[in-house]
Structure 1
Amino acid sequence: MCKQCFFVLRQQKWTVQAVLFVNEKISKQMIKFTAGIAKESIVDVEGVVKTVDQKVWVVSSAEPRLPLLIEDASRPETEEDLATVKQDIRLDNRILDLRTTTNQAVFRVEAGVCKYFRNYLTSKGFVEIHTPKIISVFRAEDSNTHRHLTEFVGLDMEMAFQYHYHEVVDVIGEMFVSIFKGLRDNLRLEYKEAVKLLRENGVEMDEEEDLSTPAEKLLGKLVKMKYDTDFFILDKFPLKVRPFYTMPDPNDKVTYYTYTEKLNLKTIQSYIDSFKYGAPPHAGGGIGMERVTMLYLGLDNVRKTSMFPRDPKRLTP
């Protein structure tokens, strides 16, 4: 029977290696018991960080055979020489996967995104009814991509503007710059400019057509090459690909009249009437916290920044 055993204790992202050895107060049976505790069990350890007597209690014993090992999950999937854990296995056993130091760091960054989001908007006077909110958003999203979820954490704000909705766009742009810190310039492109840039680089698309994922990725690269920035705002999306309640571009008469002819204004007359009494114009914006964190950290999939991701194929755990 062994006279000592080593074991690793972890709390969030901090780890410490401990040693237990036989002495006048610790028996060989205690050593055997401690050595047999399953990995990822939750334990209470009583002791001082020096060579003194220690006691160990098992608070919640883990199954002897784990679906994944933390040391394996801590390695990147591109590792060739050692065992790694694929994404579906990670997500099926998210409780264990969240214990890696990488994930602990990811969600600390995500907490920082929330903090800077609120701090910036609060500093701009967003209080009372317009207080910035962190909300859970659910949508019938049938997109199985690296950046889509059917449930995501949204950072939401709305504000009244005096003259033009660009007042809101500017606040959102400044907010992103404030969050990312390292970005120095705020860039806003109109949709037609983006389409022109894509056309010049071999993408065939109409000005009223929505951006596909490949086109969106290419646009990011083109903006980086042309303006030397990773961050830009795309303004004046075509009305055809926007919700009905968004404001048409008053300079685009063709789109405006084509759209209103198809919309039965009587169905929203009570909403329109509310503006007879001086209701101020409003615009709002929301960002997906997980997607911002994914982009900021350069990760390849939004599921890595969602604590319990939801998509068309995943409802558990």
Structure 2
Amino acid sequence: MSIKILNSPIFASIQDIGRFSFSNIGVTTSGVMDEYAYFMANQLLENKKDENIIEVYYSNFNFIVNCNTQIAITGAYCEVYINKQLKPTWQTYSLKKGDIVEVSKLLSGCIVYIGIKNGIKIPKQFGSYSTSIKEKIGGIDGRLLKKGDILPIENICSFNKRKISSKYLPKYKEELQLRVILSYQEEYFTKEQKNKFFSSIYTISNEFNRMACKLKGEKIDCEIDGVISEAISFGAIQIPKDGQPIILLKERQTIGGYPKIGTVLTIDCFKLAQLRPNMKIKFKEISLNEAQKKLKEFYNSFS
């Protein structure tokens, strides 16, 4: 009982919510880039909320099933074909042995999520299914998925067709405002530099991946060149010597020595993940209390 990958995906991996409590030994968190789409897929399938999922960049993912199963496709809007018939996303589909699924042309966003009822049957490593390319752990031998891979799943006999209401469907815009909590070394950035940071529009560079997103735009100056290497959180905004902000994401290094002006609100990083190079970013300050409130509301909605 399995699915078999029929083509050569551009960048696809098995992920879950991530790997925690191992940064002290240099193991990154990893995990899905867009947690909203991830939670929605598992909710559609009535899976455990931390079940594994297939994360596919830029679509281009075809597979065949050799048993009965159910899938949910969320994330970027794309053309999905089941046995050559075009299907909408953000809902479940029941599949039987021999059915072929093709995740094709992207319409909006850039990361597609393919959830499978009860997940892919692989062991956890360091408490997670997530593939971490840098450390070569998790997923299938710690690597990206490739043509010919056979992923073990359960045979499912009962199905419930479900779809997400239109009011909960995300809109992927080409310009995004990211809320930022001033933190870390913010006292080493003058008021003038902070005002410049929050009033500028930045462009996403080609250096954008699961590790980080480097921006292009107004140079931000810091009164110090660096700091003693310290732990780095998801969403931390490093300001290197060239003054171009770098937002650190799921496969970030665990420590770093560049000064950091603040941290992007976690749930806004999920929206950032669906953008592409040359799209625009603007920052807005948010208080710690307000950030905590927004974060609690988000995770409580999936509890």
- TM normalised by structure 1 equals 0.21
Greater relative contact order, per chain length (Cα 8 Å cut-off, separation 6+)? 2
Q: Which has the higher helix share?
A: 1
Q: Which has the higher strand share?
A: 2
